[in-house]
Amino acid sequence: MPISKELIVSTGLEMLNNNENLNMRKLAEKLDIKASSLYWYFKNKQELINGIASYLFNQVQVSDNLKGIDYLRCFCIKDYDVFSKNINALHYFYHNPPSGGLELKFAVKTVKEIMSMNYDVYDAIYLLGMLHHFVLQSVHDNRLSDWSLKYANEIIAKIDKTKQLKHQEFSKLRLGKDKFIEYLDMLLNTVSEHKKRE
């Protein structure tokens, strides 16, 4: 397979998602090329990280035709999908952030969209953070370990023993995308209604 920037980015992303140590030498081994060949495409590891981050951010881009709540809903669903597929890579970026202001440009566009719904800049930034954390928590809930599910089930048992789940029913505690969208719509409805009441 011929080497391309896209292949290098997708292989690097795959390595991050598999919790492999990303460095140019190991990436070159995966691609069955010499490490020096990578430098034709990326000057250094930071540029590669920026390329992977750019690829992920592009998957979350929302059409300029969508406005207000429709924009935020689309943004959150795309964010959920990207996080669900790439959670390990995104954890890597928290500790090794991309440079060049890529995430800043993305955040500015979303904050401006929230402000178009009559929120001031401070509330818009808060709402963006809240939506981001809601998406992250929803993705995390779908990846709960058996121990976490057992613990949640113990809490349920303390509240109402009749609602306690059998081990094979633990999946009920995982949110799932349909439930995520249902709760997202309730949250966005509150965001929209709050401004109408003011």
CB 134 within 8 A of CB 180: no
- How many other C-beta atoms lie within 10 A of the C-beta of residue 37? 13
Residue 101 lies in a domain: yes
Q: What is the pLDDT of residue 144?
A: 66
* Residue pLDDT, tens place only, 154-178: 888 888 888 777 767 766 666 688 8
Range in 27-41, 92-106, 142-156 with the lowest mean pLDDT: 142-156
Residue 106 lies in a domain: yes
- How many other C-beta atoms lie within 10 A of the C-beta of residue 97? 13
Average predicted confidence (pLDDT) for the chain: 87
Residue 157 lies in a domain: yes
Residue written as token pair 């963006």: 128
DSSP state of 130: H
Q: Averaged over 73-90, what is the pLDDT?
A: 92
* Domains contained in the chain, number: 1
pLDDT over 70 (residue 59):
yes
Residue 91 lies in a domain: yes
Residue 24 lies in a domain: no
* Residue pLDDT, tens place only, 13-40: 999 999 999 999 999 999 999 999 999 9
Per the document, the length of the chain is: 198
pLDDT over 60 (residue 197):
no
CB 23 within 8 A of CB 45: yes
Residue 12 lies in a domain: no
Three-state DSSP class for residue 162: helix
Residue 151 lies in a domain: yes
Residue 27 lies in a domain: no
Query: What is the domain extent for residue 82?
Result: 43-197
pTM of this prediction exceeds 0.85? no
